[in-house]
Amino acid sequence: NSENEKALAKNAAALAKSSSSLAGSSEMFNVTDDEDKNNLTKSVSKFVSDYNNTVSSLMKSDSETALKKGASMVTSTQAFSNALGRIGITIGKDNKLSVDETALKNADTGSIKSLFSGNYSYASKVSRKAEDISTAADTLSKSTYNNSGNLSYYNKVLANSLFNESV
């Protein structure tokens, strides 16, 4: 269903944005007061929410490519489960994340930074996978047949451009 794929593309794009925002910001991890800690906690909680929305959307996807990328993302998350647990983030049986905000606020900032900051961090890995999921879902949402069994508008444009006809 193209609506499911559109939702997945949107959720995965939001996850890519929130995770790359964390991965690309070293300043966010220079915590000097409660306001800084609250902002960091909000950013990590946003990441978790976007991650969970993406996992939920993956469950409804028909995109083999998106599902493979999603499985890879979940496997990466499981590989980081001990480190995530140390900062108050746990993985449920449904592969969704839960945040204990008190534990996250009290966690060592260096531990949070090592998970979420930098090109080789957990957040960076999730960001790349989320971008791939979004691209795969977006591609499938534009390249399917519609409810009446006809080619979607996108495929008509593509097919007609090959034959130089107008839609």
Show the tokens assigned to 134: 């979004």
Report how far residue 139's alpha carbon sits from residue 148's, in angstroms, rounded to the nearest whole number.
Answer: 20
Cα 38 from Cα 133, distance rounded (Å): 30
Report whether pLDDT(161) > 60.
no
Which is more confidently placed, 163 or 109? 109
Residue given tokens 């998970």 in the structure block? 115
Question: How many angstroms separate the CA atoms of 10 and 66, rounded?
Answer: 13
Interval 68-80 mean pLDDT: 94
Query: What local confidence, expressed as pLDDT, does residue 86 receive?
Result: 96
d(C-alpha 86, C-alpha 150), whole Å? 52
Q: How far apart are CA 90 and CA 82, in angstroms?
A: 9
Q: What is the pLDDT of residues 119-138, one digit of tens each?
A: 999 999 999 999 999 999 88
Alpha-carbon distances, residue 141 vs 10, 88, 157 (angstroms):
11, 36, 14
